[in-house]
Homo-oligomer: A and B are copies of this chain.
């Protein structure tokens, strides 16, 4: 047996400090137990055990998006050591987000370092592996680069930030690539598609499988009054705040995309020219922007993907995001396009609006692809739509 003396103990402490750094420092405030919990624990059959150590609590519930209905939750069971445990599933292969709750307060799983931000809300994340989620996982394939890039937008009078995915081989090569502009929804920002949407993983995997062409993917911030996601921009001046929420229907972001973003991307990156090398798609608010781009900037893009959006009815005062649709839609006929893709879930609150768009396309004898999925207005659907839309581009 090795003799343990004070010096050894000091060294052991030093080692753990260096290796676990601040974690170890902070462990002082919590029982050792708390740091040994493994959660979530994924079992071979894709059932999942969640655990949290909290002797002081009387009730802890978990709420996850595998459950049916908003606000659904399930109680964990406390054992005699103060460890709360719940096994759920087996769960379908998918990316899930969840949080614990106690006394009306939501909190992350302290044992899980994977966290996703959705708007201003943070949730713990879990990827259940399997065929349906394999595109979302980081696989042993060549990876593209994700860059956070600042550009000048004279249209919006802002220096703005966007994310750019360049495919594997871009930086070391000389080839030119087509560009896919991918737009987020209301409440989101330039961060959303690469985190919640798993764009890098989906593109890496589709490209490695030969299912999608190597392409540049540009993820902008679609909120015209914002320079970047929260905390990443200089503080806004009071007068910069958008007063009228209908400004989102003003088409000003769409103008900035065409006038500011595309020229910047074409200058800064090795892009293939022409509309046949440009695609645009977006979800919800980004779907509205995609529709507007198809109406008003038809000849800029050859590929349009409208996710979870459609033609909404005007309000009684006549205000609407979609003015003069019957006139503007003629551009699609006159100027042509290669693909107009519409995807919506049957439970989506905009399902009817998507149906209106389908009807309007038919009414005008315009070709389109309609993809109806189950589920609602969710990233689960938008990841599927991206996985299906990207392989159709630039072919």
Residues of A within 8 A of B (CB): 2, 5, 7-8, 11, 14-15, 17-26, 28-29, 52, 54-58, 63, 70-71, 100, 102-108, 110-115, 117-122, 125, 127, 137-140, 142-150, 159, 161, 168, 171-172, 185-188, 228, 230-234, 245-246, 248, 267-268, 284-285, 288, 312-313, 315-317, 349-350, 377
Task: Say whether A11 contacts B315, CB under 8 Å.
Answer: yes
**What are 5 A-B contacts with C-beta separation under 8 Å?**
A11-B315, A23-B121, A113-B119, A143-B159, A147-B148
Given A102-B105, A107-B106, A234-B138, A20–B114 Cβ distance below 8 Å? no
Task: Say whether A148 contacts B146, CB under 8 Å.
Answer: yes
CB distance from A160 to the nearest CB of B (A): 10
Task: Say whether B122 contacts A108, CB under 8 Å.
Answer: yes
> Within the complex, which residue of B105, B138, B185, B188 is in contact with A107, where a contact is CB–CB below 8 Å?
B105
Task: Say whether B315 contacts A8, CB under 8 Å.
Answer: yes
17 further A-B pairs in the complex, CB-CB below 8 A; given A113-B120, A172-B268: A14-B349, A14-B350, A15-B246, A18-B248, A19-B245, A19-B248, A19-B285, A20-B119, A20-B186, A21-B187, A21-B284, A29-B63, A56-B104, A57-B103, A137-B234, A138-B232, A143-B150
Most chain B beta-carbon neighbours within 10 Å: one of A28, A140, A231, A233: A231
Task: Say whether B149 contacts A145, CB under 8 Å.
Answer: yes
Copies of chain A in the complex:
2
Residues of B within 8 A of A168 (CB): 150
Task: Say whether A7 contacts B147, CB under 8 Å.
Answer: no
In the complex, residue of chain B having the shortest beta-carbon distance to the beta carbon of A309: B18
Residues of B within 8 A of A5 (CB): 316
Residues of B within 8 A of A104 (CB): 54-57
Task: Say whether B149 contacts A171, CB under 8 Å.
Answer: yes
Task: Say whether A185 contacts B119, CB under 8 Å.
Answer: no
> Within the complex, which residue of B23, B70, B139, B288 is in contact with A29, where a contact is CB–CB below 8 Å?
B70
Task: Say whether A186 contacts B17, CB under 8 Å.
Answer: yes
